[in-house]
Amino acid sequence: MIEFWVVLTGLLVGVTCGIAGVFLILRKMSMIADAISHTVLFGIVMAYIITQSLNGLWMLIGAAVAGILTAYLVQLLHSSGIQEDAAIGVVFTSLFAAGVLLITLFASNVHLDVEHVLMGEIAFVPWDRWTVLGLAMPKAVWMLLLVLVINIVFLLLFFKEMKLATFDPVYAATIGIPVVFLHYGFMTSISFTTVAAFDSVGAILVVAMLIGPAATSYLISKTIKQMFIYSMLFGAGASVIGYYLAKLWDTSIAGMMATTVGLLFIITLISQKIIERRRKALVHKLELS
């Protein structure tokens, strides 16, 4: 039963991050995922300081606020003339350092340490349970299911608007689409996804799950809908394969999951290049015949 919960958690992380990562890739915002995955620490610590509770709901709210603050500050600095990558770097390091400092000052005696937030440990997931409506499941599973529903609902409600705002934001704004609202709504969903996932795989490895499956699916997809499907499959596949390889070799589960994400990307990239080269060679041969 313990293995079931660990594998299920990995699947949920892969699918949830797979959905969230598609528009990150399409909107060329991969690095902001890295920033948010670290700055949510600031939001989590602030939520604890205000509520004096480690309740998951308050953690989600704190992380969402931190994610929105990160996106707002990056956009503000970028609008003032600072390059986007520099703006991300400044906001990322400043808020993350502030979170570490607040832990040291106000939460040093609480189980809220930087290593736990960054690295996580999926093997411990089955032992921390919530009972909702008489159903007892690991806290990480409840949180991931909640965030998965949020991501799916956001996608169903705003898919066309997000697609248009991604590829032609100026036109989207001129026809009345709330581009700014969509941007911050999307950043909120990324924040939720990050804080829900790092209990199991850690904030650093969330970046691999957010970016890797979506980037891999981008290589082989012809439509955005295909990209979503492949991204979820790659994310779920990397989680399951990574778990069993980690079990086989007795190594870090989260680390092996992230490594599997990278291997799937490399394999897909090489396969695509080989297929493309053969296709060009065949076309050239047919032109000469």
pLDDT at 11 over 80: yes
Q: What is the third-level CATH fold of 1-211?
A: ABC transporter involved in vitamin B12 uptake, BtuC (1.10.3470)
Q: How confident is the model at residue 112 (pLDDT cuts 50, 70, 90)?
A: low
Residue 185: exposure state from Cβ atoms within 10 A (0-12, 13-18, ≥19) = middle
Taking only the tens place, the pLDDT of each residue in 86-95 is 898 899 899 9
Note the pTM of the prediction, 2 decimals.
Answer: 0.87
Lowest mean pLDDT among 180-194, 221-235, 275-289: 275-289
- Structural domain boundaries in the chain: 1-211
194-227 pLDDT per residue, tens:
877 776 677 667 888 999 999 999 999 999 999 9
Enter the tokens of residue 187: 């950043």
Closest-CA residue to 229 (of 19, 84, 61, 55): 19
